[in-house]
Structure 1
Amino acid sequence: MSSDRRVPGAAVPDPMIGRLLDGRYLMGPRIARGGMASVYEATDTRLERTVAVKIMHAGLGDDDEFAARFVREARAAARLSHPNVVAVYDQGDEHGTVFLAMELVSGHTLRDTITKESPMSPLRALALLEPVLSALASAHRAGLIHRDVKPENVLIADDGRIKVADFGLAKAVSADTQHTATKGVLIGTVSYLAPELVVDGKADARADVYAAGVLLYELLTGKKPHEGESPIQVAYKHVHHDVPPPSELVPHIPPYVDALVARATAREPGLRPADAAVLLHQVHRVSHALANGVREDPDLTADLAPMLLSRDLGERSDTASDMWDADEMAALMAPSPVREDTATYPAALPPPMQPPPGAPRPAARPREPRAPKPPKAPRQRRPRRSRRGPILLVLALLLATAGGGAAYWFGWARYTSTPGVVGMTQSAAESKLDDAGLSIDYADAAYSETVPAGRVIETDPEAGSRILQEGTVTLTLSLGKERYDVPKVKGLTEDQAQDALLEVKLSFDETIEKYSETVPAGTVIRSIPESGTTLRPGASVDLVVSLGRQPIKVGDWVGDDYDDAREALEERGLVATVTSEEYDDTVPEGDVISQEPRRGTLFRGETVSFVVSLGPELVEVPSVTASGVGAATAELEALGFEVKTEESGSYIGLGYVLSTDPAAGEMIPLGSTITLFLV
């Protein structure tokens, strides 16, 4: 029985385990497998550290277009330096095995946390979501879109650090031509796909915002917002159904948390936050309200989700009434009580109570008999009752009322909340601020990767902040995406070309050296991308720099057939020429006797000279028949032949030549041997 026969049902060994990938990464056990790649624990033998190596599945890695896009996006992702992003160390391709070396995070995924803890409190859910949004915001500022935000791509280390994985990979397989790059397969986990990705496969940073909103819903409820028997059904619901309010499953969730989920998961991209940084700001506002115990905040709710929530929010209330109930406000405004036996009534007490009209008065005390009147003393005037007490009472009441009113006015009533206008057009923002009674000022316009030109990037103060009524809100408008054209660098030196790139805020990446027959050494031939290509600031540009004319190896052709040498040299771009042809007793006819130059290199179009052999020089055999052996031998040797004698079959001892071999008249090389047959 053969020893390599496989037992039915036995596991097939993973050929990747134990392999030294790219001469550097010693592959260990597989720790994860997804639709596009598998992840292995590996040892970086060069730096002696443990890493995670992601291996693209063979079908994707064999696609040249995908592999090229993956390399570019992996390079861009490696430039992300953020504490909440899994670091990318290296990328390579070893004989079709496309791989990515990354930071290894020991711990678990957010999926495990959702399984164990959900539904969780809004504060806990936002605390888990905040580092995810911080990582996405960093990527969005760099012009990267994740496109596969899901719990499985959020890693939680054993020490509590939260990191987002797979930056760059998702975009590499799902750019504007994602369907062709992946053989028509829609990339991304269907439960977290934004509607625009389902419809046409194209999206921007708001697709990540949508996925983060779905993630928040799942943290709050423990369930996905859209479920179905097949991925197609789930995708259909993303397009045609709003994400329901989390409070439908968890009733104690405040309305403004529902509003936050509704804003992030709006089916229309224009109603969502422009990018993760804007959503992160809104999360901070909601977290602050939750931390302060605010149950209802209609202003915050309306600001987060105008026209989106179907919940009956009731009448709008001032922020003060959300922070303080009526009894607490009354207690703060009321004067302090004092003892009843004080001589005067302070502002804290009401005047002495009088019996209500119509009530019986107390009975009069009976008079006692009068005593005889003593002699009249000089009459003294009764002291007049002081009016100071009531006056002080009125003054105290007025002061208390004025002080409380002033405190309320200066501390609260004269303030309002800054409306949210980020993402609006200039005219819409001006209209909303004007309706709120606020003045408008403008800061210098700024570029934005996510907010279209003419729309609001940010406000000062921020949305939801307290601002004086009729105060001023400073708007920063978007100039759109900051883009620059690659300058013309052909014909410049490498240093000059790098300076030209820096002048337009582009980054020099690497020099690609290439031989050129027309461009002098050290001069730029072209750029990659080509001149005139529009790029965002900081984008990398490669320079193709001339090495000058390419040297061509001549080779040693002595002893070889000249025709073969000529053909080979002409294919290399050199010219072969025969300067002379010579007889040579040792070199066959047509072969090379010598060449110039014998070795080294030449440049295209230069000449190699050859001396070609005509073979040995031929001489005609003279006729020596009937000559004496001595005379015949002398004649032949004089011509350069070797002579040998033999007796013929009719030899009688005369010593004359009967015949020769070769025969007379044949052309033979000098030095050949001629046999004389004697008679």
Structure 2
Amino acid sequence: MTQPRLLGGRYELDGVIGRGGMAEVYRARDLRLDRVVAIKTLRSDLARDPTFQARFRREAQSAASLNHPSVIAVYDTGEDTLDGNPVPYIVMEYVEGRTLRDVLQEEHRIAPERALQMTDGILRALDYSHRGGIVHRDIKPANVMLTASGEVKVMDFGIARALADSAATMTATAQVIGTAQYLSPEQARGERVDARSDIYSTGCVLYELMTGRPPFQGDSPVAIAYQHVREEPIPPSQLDPSIPQYAEAIVLKALTKDANYRYQSAAEMRADIQRASQGMPVSAPTMAMNAGTQVMQGGPRTQAMRPSSTMGYDLPPAQYAEPERDEGNGKKVALWALVGVLAVGAIVALFMIFSNGGGSDNGNQVTMPSDIVGSDQATAKQELVSLGFVDGNIQIKHKTDDSADKGQVLDVDPAPQTKIDKTKLATTQVVLTVSTGKPKVTVPSVKSMSEDDAKSALESAGLKAGPTQTISSTTVPKGSVVKSDPVSGSKVEKGTEVTLYISSGPGKTLVPNEVGKSVDDAKSDLRSHGFRYSINYVDVPAGQADGRVMQQTPSEGETANRGSTVTLTVSRAQQDQPTPPGSGVPTPPWGGGGNNDN
């Protein structure tokens, strides 16, 4: 019989439940905690690069800090070997359900109202992660789960950054083509991304849910990325006239090329979806308000217009096309030749991004990586050394920053995207500005405060009030705080999230059976169940059990509030009384043998 494969000496793999171009996902059992988990194992060829390994660990650990109902939890990360090659893996919450990719394959398209509900779930997860400083970078249908109960859960937070930073992933595989369909324009240009990049990708997913196809399609990642940067999506209502204007307005605003004109946060986009669900006007402009794309009459000739974009916003001047002038066929040909050259140049630039990850301009230069800022000091130094910089030439400057963790790189000189000749790497001085960490604050005592007062006290101390938990308490009134986590008096970083435990009152519980027990055992058992007790003693004849519970009120199996009193009736055996002298049966003078031997 074949032995099940064991990862990390702890996780017993059951079977493959999903495959992708980058990884396989297994159903597995955590032997230590006896629970079912999902384990994603990455291809071993992606883990041979030590820089990649460091990034992967960093991003996985960052994702593990997320704790939200709409986020698939990351429990653990590790590395095992297979055929002598390292195999990194991520241990995740196991969820019964389907990915949105599976849903689309089965249903092809989703009704707009339901699609907006699914998108709202994605945005809930993103709003939480963005407030924690984590950008997903790879929102797509394959990374969104729909549970059996219809809840939306997002997975693979942060992992995309580790993958995107590895040149090995930027090959023209089907997986990359799939991912490219959801890239933001700034990702396609190799620029630094923020939370608004996730908004764009979410817009791509919403577009596909409603129309059955992504906003842009092509034969290669380069072709698709070019469209994300330069072309406007077809309005969804042109593909399906039944799509309402408010749904189209929301998706097109999310797909605005310029991030400054998109929804600026997941919360803002959620608010528009919620307004739509309540029949209220949305903030995004509808096509009726838009004076953009127009069909020109008079044959195939197309006039370039100063557009407002299909999203209803003026495009930045750099995106305007120079109007064509009808000054003869020669000038038209020259103009179209120029347009062709520019298009080819853009495609070549995008190809360089996808083939080299933006890290090298040519064979003689090295580009300072963008991901240095935001990484930890050790990882940044390791990455710089791997590019050819000398460790001894990397200087560290420290700076206090309330928004950055201790050891996080705040700035680098030379700046990101600076190109440096390889011949000068050995003598180039690099300065990393590193955060000394957030200041420590003391968790205040909030016991017995109202929930609102406790939250105010936490905010005054520079802390955040996290999700509340409800617990029963016999000493703290209902609605007041029983305790906090971290506990009061502990030192934590400024901005730490504190969980408040709110009293639901004493709470009811079953009364245990104490009849027949010794009084000491009964008292101990009642205390362990949260009850008080009172004792009534009843005299019983000598010879019967002493100190035993004969009766209890309330009886066994009844429910009562914790902290209430259980009355025990306990036996008290009477003592034998000695016989007074001269009373009773006289003793024969011979000692009472009862026989007369005369």
TM-score band by shorter chain is 0.3 to 0.5
The TM-score normalised by the length of structure 1 is 0.42
State the structure with more CA Rg.
Answer: 1
The TM-score normalised by the length of structure 2 is 0.47
